[in-house]
Chains A and B, each alone.
Chain A
Amino acid sequence: MNQNMISIEAENLTKVYLRGSEEIPAVNDVSLRIKKGDFISIIGPSGSGKTTLINLLGCLDNPTSGELCLAGRSIFNKGRRLSERELTKIRREIYGYIFQSFYLIPTLTVMENVTLPLTFYRKPDTENEAVKLLKLLGMEHRKDHLPGQISGGEMQRVAIARAMVNRPEILLADEPTGNLDTKRSAEIVQVLQELNRNAQLTIVMVTHNQGLARCANRMFEMKDGKICQIAGKP
């Protein structure tokens, strides 16, 4: 397969935590290949290692061993550890993140929250991205509101816009609907599906909710640090 067509390629990725003198392999020898524009979901019980995996894929943490290539760039290999600065540089070029708790800055308006990443790092041609995204997500009329003045579903839309404002190649969604009711959850996943289709955005979503996980193109399950695909095209 053409290297440019692959977003994430993990090879024997392992992360071992120490609890006392006991070694706990939270992610155990995981190999995974995610094509550009793919939408995958990962389910699994608490403690199965899915969050550790998404942290490794998302360059929030260094693996104990294994290799990781993102968009054709080798990130982790041969046990090389990256500094916080290096990880940040990779993250802001490649990733957008959304979380269960939205993490909007309460003192900033919707618009300011969305444009906040641009304060730190800015890709070219992103001037109108925030306005476009808010319009796309149906949040334009809320742009001067504070996060405290809008609903949970709306907050997650703002968080999505913030994650997308620097045109990431990959969107990592960690329990994006964990704090929302069924209806709002479905809406958020629908938004993600649209972004995936229209913008050729690669999405990796971790969730508890099997029903939502099925909306992805491929569905994986994590168990005891191991991953296996349970639905979708191989």
Chain B
Amino acid sequence: MITKFQVAYKNLLRKRVRSLLTLIGIALSAWVLVSLLGFNQGYETSLNKDIDNMGFQLMIMAKGCPYEAATMMLKGGTGLKYMKESIMDDVAKEPEVEKTTPILMAAVFDPNKGESGGVAGYFGIEPKSFIEMKPFLKFRQGGWFTEENGYEAVMGYEAAELEQREVGDMILIPEKNVQFKVVGILSRTGTQDDGTIFVPLKTAQKVFGKPDEITTLGIKVKKGIDSTRFEDKMYQLPDVQVVSLAQVKQTIMQLISTAKVMVLSIALIAILIAMVGVINTILMSVHERFQEIGILKTIGAMPGDIFKLIWIETLMLCAIGGVLGIGLALILSKVTGVVIRYLLPYSPSGGLVLIDLKLILFTLAAVLCIGLLSGLYPAWKAGRIRPLEAIRSEIG
């Protein structure tokens, strides 16, 4: 005995091109849906990871100082403001503080960098406290500095790659005429650390002429501390700004929220188009089989049977299209990531499109729901075909 599934399946094969086109429509919309939702959660996950990888939740800097490397580079290393190193002791006294690490940022124009010269970012750091903040840093080659005030440098992955540096090479800070020996090269972190050259804080202070001064104090607060209240407290210190990473994140998220609204609208439109396509296909197929459906009723099919038959057809189209679309999204997620990265003003470094099982199941369920909804009207219409009307055309 033949089942309703087989009947529905065989009917879809009848008009192969039409079924295929509908299938492609559904697959494309499922692809768009899963990719965009994947982007939605991927972007945030990557951003969070980026921010966690900074290792500290708060930074204190002198008022008006650019607070991250990119801005500093853009300004060509000018506009940096400095604080006394002693501020560290004041902050460390606060009960909420778990760890602090001082940083002296500096940017140096290097005429040999790139084609027309470029700015190299230097971070003077205190290896001990810095490593504690970022235990996840790994070395591709070599290791940390051996002396607190030696002329040694650790290069971020991209910085080393760009200049083709190996451990043991000497790098020159042109303006200062000082040479550093490369002792370590970090593995890729996917953060701004990749483009940075790290040197010991004390040496940096000497070389850049800022004794006992720092630009940034990274702070890690103890677990369970209300960071907003702590921020307010830090603002009591004279002439400082407090930058929380939550704030940074929020700024970025706001920046892309318009883009997100846009992509979700696109997804919605894609789904609507697919839905209309499905309804059209099934309605046409019902219309073409007007007599056939009437005959099914004379041979014993109830209106409900016909309804089911047509509904199954819709569901099959949507299920197959959905699976195809999700597969497409999985295969092309890297490409999607690249395209989105190109379109957005700022993107974190990790994977931008995160498609997990939950999202896959959600999309599949969504596509099936769309199928069920789209099939409703054609199926209902088919169920109402009266056998007499269907065969009347023939008998006189």
Contacts and interface: CB of A to CB of B under 8 A. Distances in A.
A115 B2 contact: yes
Given A99-B391, A99-B394, A103-B292, A117 B10 contact: no
A172 B23 CA distance: 41
Interface string A193-220: 0000000000000000000000000000
B77 interface: no
A67 B292 CA distance: 30
Interface stretch (A6-14, A106-114, A181-189, A223-231): A106-114
A8 B14 CA distance: 40
A111 B82 CA distance: 89
Contact of A119 (B7, B14, B295): B7
A60 to B, nearest CB: 5
A169 to B, nearest CB: 14
A118 B292 contact: no
B388 A88 contact: no
A88 B387 CA distance: 10
A61 interface: yes
A166 interface: yes
Contacts of A174: 391, 395
Given A100-B394, A107-B11, A120-B299, A84 B1 contact: no
Contacts of B225: none
Contact of B292 (A85, A100, A105, A120): A105
Contacts of B299: 92, 97, 116-117, 120, 162-163
Given A51-B396, A107-B11, A174-B395, A118 B1 contact: yes
Interface stretch (B141-149, B177-185, B191-199, B300-308): B300-308
Interface string B1-36: 111101100110110000000000000000000000
B2 A85 contact: no
Interface in B293-329: 295-303, 305
A117 B300 contact: yes
A55 B388 contact: yes
Given A99-B394, A116-B2, A60 B388 contact: yes
Contacts of B300: 88, 91-92, 117, 120-121, 166
Interface string B367-396: 000000000000000001011100100111
Nearest to B291: A103
Contact of B7 (A47, A95, A116): A116
A125 to B, nearest CB: 14
B341 to A, nearest CB: 47
Nearest to A121: B300
A60 B2 contact: no
A147 to B, nearest CB: 12
Contacts of B305: 119-120
B4 to A, nearest CB: 6
Interface centre among B1, B4, B384 (most CB of A within 10 A): B1
17 contacts: A60-B387, A61-B388, A85-B302, A88-B301, A88-B302, A88-B303, A99-B391, A103-B291, A105-B7, A106-B14, A107-B11, A107-B13, A115-B1, A116-B299, A119-B7, A120-B299, A163-B299
Q: Which 5 A-B pairs have the closest CB atoms?
A: A92-B300, A107-B10, A103-B295, A121-B300, A120-B301
Given A88-B303, A119-B1, A120-B305, 18 more contacts: A60-B387, A61-B388, A92-B299, A97-B298, A99-B394, A100-B394, A105-B7, A105-B292, A107-B10, A115-B2, A116-B7, A116-B299, A119-B7, A120-B296, A120-B300, A162-B299, A163-B299, A174-B395
